[in-house]
Amino acid sequence: MAAKEEKRGGATEEEKSKTEIVQAEVARMKQLPPNSAYATHRLRVLDKMQQLLSKARTQAETDELEILFANMSF
């Protein structure tokens, strides 16, 4: 368990920044019409990103999160 705490402690500022970016984008998407396919899909992706940011991740999950950030344009 100590390894997970070290990992999370090492990138807290970066993770806070990413979390803020995702939260801002969620707020922006919620301003779009609720039946918008674009907004619905993007909110699903943003929800997945929030889930990954909020927990200690495996390397595969960390890689998935990086891919999601790389494919999203903020």
What is the maximum span of the chain, computed from C-alpha positions, in angstroms?
44
Per-residue confidence (pLDDT) for residue 6, from 0 to 100: 40
Q: How many CB atoms lie within 10 A of CB 69?
A: 15
Which residues are CB-contacts of 50 (< 8 A; sequence separation ≥ 6)?
A: 19, 22, 23, 26
Give the span between the Cα atoms of 28 and 20, in whole angstroms.
Answer: 12
Mean pLDDT of the chain: 87
Kindly give the residue spans of alpha helices, DSSP state H, lying in the chain.
Answer: 2-10, 12-29, 37-53, 59-71
Rounded percentage of the chain residues whose pLDDT exceeds 90: 74
Question: What's this model's pTM, rounded to 2 decimal places?
Answer: 0.78
What pLDDT digit, counting tens, does each position of 15-33 carry? 899 999 999 999 999 999 9
Per-residue confidence (pLDDT) for residue 22, from 0 to 100: 97
